[in-house]
A and B are shown apart, each in its own frame.
Chain A
Amino acid sequence: MEETIVTEQARPFPIKTLILLLLAAALLAFPLVVSLPFPRRLMILILLYAMLGQAWNILGGFAGQVSLGHAAFFGVGAYTSTMLLMQLGLTPWLGMIAGGLVAVALSQLIGYPSFRLKGHYFVIATIVLAEIVHIMFTNWDYVGGAVGLTLPLLPESLINLQFHSGNAPYYYISLALLAIVMGVTYLITKTKPGYYFRSIKDDPEAARSLGISITRYKMFAMAVSAFFTGVGGAFYAQFVLYIDPNSVFSFMLSVLIMLIPVLGGIGTLWGPVLGAFILIPLSEFTRIYLGGVGGALDLVVYGALIMLVAIFEPRGIWALVERFFGGRK
């Protein structure tokens, strides 16, 4: 076991650049090649969930603070942009940013008490607080209560973020959002916050003894994580044009957001992307072909996958890929 994440490359790695370029080209060309709505829809969901998984990964993977309440950030993002659109006619683009910021505010409210708790208690606190938010929205008539909100149909345009004649624009927007989150994550791993996050994960007591304000940096990781999760929620609302508490605040969503990086490779840059490409098709197919069971089967499949990862490669599938390409010991 040599270094997994290193500041300096062990050797120049042209293959890596080549693969990256091919991947980017394939992703950009996808809607031109595939015109069927279903595969496109699937790809949009994969890209969206990869983004959500990466957002979770910043907090849970790099900083080691495992949250099972990320649906709360996703949900407030979705509701914020939707309400701003319905009440004030605000463009969803600004709605997205507003949704992200409301998620940040909520994350600081959740984070402040939760970070005082250690280990499992933190996880439990995030579950409980997210459930409270879920229940509040279910009982809040102003935002549609349990029925939820149907977004108004607007003329198709970029500024309205609505496209009815084809879903290629949604595809490119989700791709751009993922690219942004990937870029931000990459930047974090190469700079002071990334080093601090990892030190907090490895040994918080040692980190403190070296002058690192761990609470401040956990809050920061939580804020970045929540922001992008909220943005993702706002995009989702625009894409499906209907939101209700059970779909955007559900505990199962929090589980799925966590599973993506855990399966793909927790604390790695590419793990969440890999995880989304495996989990989302799986979850869509079980839903379509084995639907009616009502989510229970999803759980069985997720559980089985997690057990496989835990047994064969706790660092996730990305570790296998790295071993294969990097030739690392």
Chain B
Amino acid sequence: MSLLEIKNLTKSFGGLTANQKVNIAVEEGEIVGLIGPNGAGKTTLFNCVTGHYRPDSGQVIFDGHDITGWSPERICKAGLVRTFQIVKPFMSMSVLENVMTAGFLHTNSTAVAKKNASELLEFTGLADKRRMVAGNLTVADKKRLELTRALATKPKMLMFDEVMAGLTATETNDAIDLILALHRQGITILLVEHVMEVVMPISKRVNVLDYGVKIAEGEPAQIARNERVIKAYLGEKYRAPG
């Protein structure tokens, strides 16, 4: 049985169908990619799966529970945690406090939360910035913080919404190393990116979304050669100049 199963999920905004009968399954321990041009409906799918939007129809099964319509906080407690494409750090708090806040899901002790948060920040490479106010971090560090914070909730599965967008080549490599390290710890990962190149080398399977419809699924090598996928991405150049 899959850890996460998205079944026939449909979500529309007025006349626009952002997700149309999308089916995606993620097995325990896998890294699965989800790619698609801008506006394909990736973030909407995230919002539907993690309880921020209610899907029009379809089902989300996680870890044996039908979590369709659950609140975001309940879904997090069940072990499924997402990051936001547009980062959402707690701006007035320090980096350490951000991570501690998430860590309070599993402890009532400030000392324990602090110790755990410090260890996590060490792991994700933000330890030397732990006292900075989150609002003052660079974009790359904000994304790293968002990831660390998600990790502090001790998730079974993480969903990353474009954690590598806008990063330099070096920063992207660091992020990939970090994701692989999480994978080795046994955390299941759904990786959403707009750019194909970063997802391909580390994903076992890749799903492709275009105009809200899943147009392909397969191993990275197959996807890279897939006619429809190439067309969707070529089309993007005309749809979204710049």
Residues of chain A touching chain B, judged by Cβ–Cβ distance below 8 Å, are 1-8, 10, 190-192, 195-196, 198-199, 201-203, 205-214
Instruction: Kindly list chain A residues whose C-beta atoms are within 8 Å of the C-beta of B102.
Output: 210-211
Shortest C-beta distance, A209 to chain B (Å), equals: 5
Instruction: Kindly list chain B residues whose C-beta atoms are within 8 Å of the C-beta of A8.
Output: 96, 131
- For the complex, what is the distance from the CA of A4 to the CA of B82, rounded to whole Å? 28
Q: Do A195 and B97 contact each other (CB < 8 Å), given the known contacts A1-B133, A202-B92, A211-B105?
A: yes
- For the complex, what is the distance from the CA of A225 to the CA of B133, rounded to whole Å? 27
| Stretch in B69-77, B173-181, B200-208 with 4+ CB within 8 Å of A | B69-77
Interface contacts beyond A3-B133, A211-B73: sample of 18 additional A-B pairs, CB < 8 Å, sorted by A: A3-B94, A3-B132, A6-B94, A6-B131, A7-B110, A195-B113, A196-B104, A198-B93, A199-B93, A202-B93, A205-B52, A205-B84, A206-B89, A207-B90, A208-B72, A208-B73, A212-B105, A213-B73
Q: Is the CB of B110 within 8 A of A191?
A: yes
Smallest CB-CB separation from A190: which chain B residue? Answer: B110
Residues of chain B touching chain A, judged by Cβ–Cβ distance below 8 Å, are 50-52, 71-73, 76-77, 81-82, 84, 88-94, 96-97, 100-102, 104-105, 108, 110, 113-114, 131-133, 136, 149-150, 152-153
Most chain A beta carbons < 10 A, residue from B51, B88, B152 = B88
Q: Is the CB of B73 within 8 A of A7?
A: no
Instruction: Kindly list chain B residues whose C-beta atoms are within 8 Å of the C-beta of A196.
Output: 101, 104
Instruction: Kindly list chain A residues whose C-beta atoms are within 8 Å of the C-beta of B82.
Output: 209
Q: Is the CB of A202 within 8 A of B73?
A: no
Q: Do A202 and B90 contact each other (CB < 8 Å), given the known contacts A7-B96, A7-B100?
A: yes
Q: Do A203 and B76 contact each other (CB < 8 Å), given the known contacts A7-B114, A208-B71?
A: no
Smallest CB-CB separation from A212: which chain B residue? Answer: B73
Count how many pairs of residues, one from A and one from B, have CB atoms less than 8 Å apart in the complex. 105
Instruction: Kindly list chain A residues whose C-beta atoms are within 8 Å of the C-beta of B96.
Output: 7-8
- For the complex, what is the distance from the CA of A190 to the CA of B113, rounded to whole Å? 12
Instruction: Kindly list chain B residues whose C-beta atoms are within 8 Å of the C-beta of A202.
Output: 89-93
- For the complex, what is the distance from the CA of A299 to the CA of B207, rounded to whole Å? 61
Smallest CB-CB separation from B104: which chain A residue? Answer: A192
Q: Do A210 and B150 contact each other (CB < 8 Å), given the known contacts A6-B131, A199-B101?
A: yes
- For the complex, what is the distance from the CA of A203 to the CA of B84, rounded to whole Å? 12
Q: Do A206 and B88 contact each other (CB < 8 Å), given the known contacts A6-B131, A7-B110, A196-B104?
A: yes
Instruction: Kindly list chain B residues whose C-beta atoms are within 8 Å of the C-beta of A208.
Output: 51-52, 71-73, 76
Q: Is the CB of B100 within 8 A of A195?
A: yes
Instruction: Kindly list chain B residues whose C-beta atoms are within 8 Å of the C-beta of A6.
Output: 94, 97, 131
Q: Is the CB of B92 within 8 A of A198?
A: yes
Q: Is the CB of A2 within 8 A of B133?
A: yes
B101 CB contact (under 8 Å) in A2, A5, A195: A195
- For the complex, what is the distance from the CA of A89 to the CA of B110, rounded to whole Å? 44
Q: Is the CB of A211 within 8 A of B153?
A: yes
